[in-house]
Chains A and B, each alone.
Chain A
Amino acid sequence: MTTAAQPFLSVDGLSVTFPTEDGRVQAVDGVSFSVERGKTLAIVGESGSGKSVTAQAIMGLLDRRLSVVTGHAWLAGRDIVAMSDDEVRHERGSSMAMIFQDPMSSLHPFYRIGAQLSEAVLVHQKVSKHAAREQALDMLNRVGIPDPKTRIDNYPHQLSGGMRQRVMIAMALINSPSLLIADEPTTALDVTVQAQILELIGTLQQEYDTAVVMITHDLGIVADIADNVAVMYGGRIVESGSVDEIFYHPQMPYTLGLLASVPRLDQVRAERLDPIPGNPPSPISLPPGCVFQPRCAYFDRVAGHACQTVRPELLDIGRGHRVRCHLDSGQRDQVASDVLAALAGGGV
């Protein structure tokens, strides 16, 4: 058992490669982070940055024949990466659970939702069928399904998208896991329903003291719910820290570029946004130095072509803030204040 001070999940040097016909895909490279119970870590990044593969590796959802996972993922002191398939399957659904963008990935289309929820209880708890159904009903009630007594006998297709998402959350949380990984759970939903779902996850997290890993590409969601943030790019964490550090003292050129790319609801921005040029890298042919170098506006400030040739380390710059960049601290501060000043100085 863990004490409150220890992280519930501690990921250490996690790497995932897929041997494919086109070559070795290095989807995740040396990712480390930790989450305490009751806290939320947001993993943010563009598509292909390795967010989902990281989550799948922790959940033991990657097929061992098609992928190579190295490193450690300590769950309450036990390494999931070293566990057998059976052991991981047991943890999944009891001490850890995952929710997805598409609720139908967790729900069976041909079974009533009540039966699916009860089944989830019966696999992990020694209770009667009747008690399992009572738990299912209680859980549907908690996730805010109106008229749960009727809905419990519905099939998934009889529910709206938002309600299906709630049922999936009910499935994930019915055995009160201590770790919940949510992979873009609201990306397909309207903002109004998204707000309901995020509120629901927050409420249940408090109730069960759950450690939450929220995977998203939406910086608004990060600002709304995260305690800590890890920014991923090209399979690596390129910057991490508390939510305040990342939003108010960002240091890494990629994070700054993301902040400059998002249109704002609450601010007048310059007529033209200032986006990161080019496209995200392909994990088959990553650049040899800094993975962000081909899109970075500042690499020529670093002496000796280090950005093109040497992989930067994730450097601890204090206050729990880590940055992967060759710029020295003075240069980083300069770049950050230039970008943030340009953002604040926009104006339509």
Chain B
Amino acid sequence: MTDASSNDDQVLRVTDLRTYFPVRSRGLLSKTIGQVKAVDGVTLSVAPGETLGLVGESGCGKSTTGRTVLRLIAPTSGRIELDGDDITRMSAKQLVPLRRKAQMIFQDPYNALNPRHTVGTIIGAPFDVQSLNPAGGVRAAVQDLMERVGLNPEHYNRYPSEFSGGQRQRIGIARAVALRPKIIVCDEPVSALDVSIQAQIMNLLKDLQDDFGVSYLFVAHDLAVVRQIAHRVAVMYLGHIVELASREELYSRPLHPYTHALLSAVPLPDPRAQASREQIRLRGDLPSPINPPSGCVFHTRCFRAEERCTVEIPELREFSAGHTVACHFPMLEVIPGAVIEGPDSGLTPQPVPYIRPPSEVISDIAESGSLARAAGVDYVEGPDTPVPQ
């Protein structure tokens, strides 16, 4: 729909963004012993009214990208421009007025809302944070919003526990659109919902986009959901964007071997089509982002890898207009019915996930909660990816 690369009226422009988390040794005198390269050189932009999908396996850095562009996590390096303003190094105070322009919706409608606040308080919070008094009062504005997202305005004084999962997601959405932001980062907003509810919420997000022209950075692992909602799609692997294209291009002419593998791993709800398609089986798991593989980060699982891939980092280059890919040997053909196997998992470095002790998880939740509140977001989000040791 929009030509994202040429004009400069982008709502969000991210250049060479890196977010590294320090890995510390345990004990009293804990030292930094390494870095999790959660986001490692991401460049993307989102146009007004556009949805950019961000897909990839668990732990590839989607959520970290989403949170960093909202400055809920401090970037290690790179540049973030929100509606023309460079927000990369802004202080929390400087950021406050800009919070009106960018909001977030989280995955877990069960843990995401403060259970002690009424729906009215939750949806009205952005007005308080920004010290805004809408004409007609906050209550009327909130009830309008409730109506708009398909909630009964009479439930203004109810608590989140009295709502179903889908309704809670509507509450989160009402809150996010309250101040008519330019962009909303949606982190897996429909992943926890049943298919019928998921479709209702996707329709709602589309309607709001049509009405307000809001942009979405839509983080999801479900490629079918992303095809339904996104205009352009970025595929992430180990902190890198490996392919970025319009929806039509990405799903009909994927070029990166990883994109092929991801697409072919999704079973189609159509037995005959499913039995006759290209099947690429990746072996093993995602390598550790602490010690990412040399050269192309995908080479340990790639079925097309050659010597060159282990030493030379493939640059993200434009293959056709608006279609960029980071691969030395992009795939130009699809082989229906072919079964392609990735390298044996024995060769794949296996990550050893570190199960976080409950105390750490709690402090983490508290931390993201306070970050979220500082951002004018009334969410407390649970951890999704275990942090590797």
Contact = CB atoms under 8 A, between A and B. Distances in A.
Contacts of A275: 195-200, 203
Given A191-B265, A279-B166, A223 B270 contact: yes
Q: Which of B58, B196, B227, B283 has the most CB of A within 10 A?
A: B196
A195 B270 CA distance: 16
A158 B352 contact: yes
B195 A261 contact: yes
Contacts of A266: 268, 270, 273, 277
Interface stretch (B80-88, B128-136, B153-161, B217-225): B217-225
A46 B194 contact: yes
A47 B194 contact: yes
Given A144-B345, A217-B194, A223-B271, A191 B266 contact: yes
Interface residues on A, range: 35 or more
Interface stretch (A73-81, A89-97, A127-135, A160-168): A160-168
A258 B225 contact: no
B346 A147 contact: yes
Nearest to B150: A277
B195 A163 contact: no
A196 B57 CA distance: 14
Interface string A239-275: 0000110010000000001111111111001011111
A192 B274 contact: no
Contact of A279 (B164, B282, B285): B164
Given A196-B281, A196-B283, A262 B224 contact: yes
Given A223-B270, A263-B202, A265-B227, 13 more contacts: A160-B285, A190-B286, A192-B57, A194-B265, A220-B224, A222-B269, A261-B196, A262-B199, A262-B224, A262-B269, A264-B228, A265-B263, A275-B197
Nearest to B166: A279
Contact of A280 (B57, B194, B202, B348): B194
A273 B251 CA distance: 18
Given A161-B353, A273-B199, A193 B285 contact: yes
A273 B203 contact: yes
Given A160-B351, A160-B353, A220 B269 contact: yes
Contact of B266 (A158, A199, A220): A220
A218 interface: yes
Interface string A150-166: 00000001111111000
Nearest to A190: B57
B268 A220 contact: yes
B262 interface: yes
Nearest to A49: B194
A123 interface: no
Contacts of B270: 223, 247, 266
B206 interface: yes
Interface string B59-94: 000000000000000000000000000000000000
8 contacts: A146-B284, A196-B282, A219-B269, A263-B222, A263-B227, A265-B266, A275-B197, A276-B196
Interface in A289-315: none
B268 A265 contact: yes
Nearest to A146: B346
B196 A223 contact: no
Given A46-B196, A263-B227, A163 B274 contact: no
A224 interface: yes
Interface of A: 46-47, 144, 146-147, 157-163, 190-196, 198-199, 217-224, 243-244, 247, 257-266, 269, 271-277, 279-280, 348
B164 to A, nearest CB: 5
Contacts of B352: 158-160
B350 A224 contact: no
A274 B200 CA distance: 8
Given A191-B262, A264-B224, A271-B206, A259 B269 contact: yes
Contacts of B277: 266
B234 interface: no
Interface in B89-110: none
B387 to A, nearest CB: 13
A162 B198 CA distance: 26
Contact of A223 (B167, B224, B274): B274
A244 B271 contact: yes
B340 interface: no
B284 A223 contact: no
B103 to A, nearest CB: 23
B345 A190 contact: no
Interface string B335-360: 00000000011101011111100000
A344 B312 CA distance: 45
B309 interface: no
Contacts of A163: 285, 350
B267 interface: yes
A217 B221 CA distance: 16
Contacts of A194: 265
A196 B197 CA distance: 28
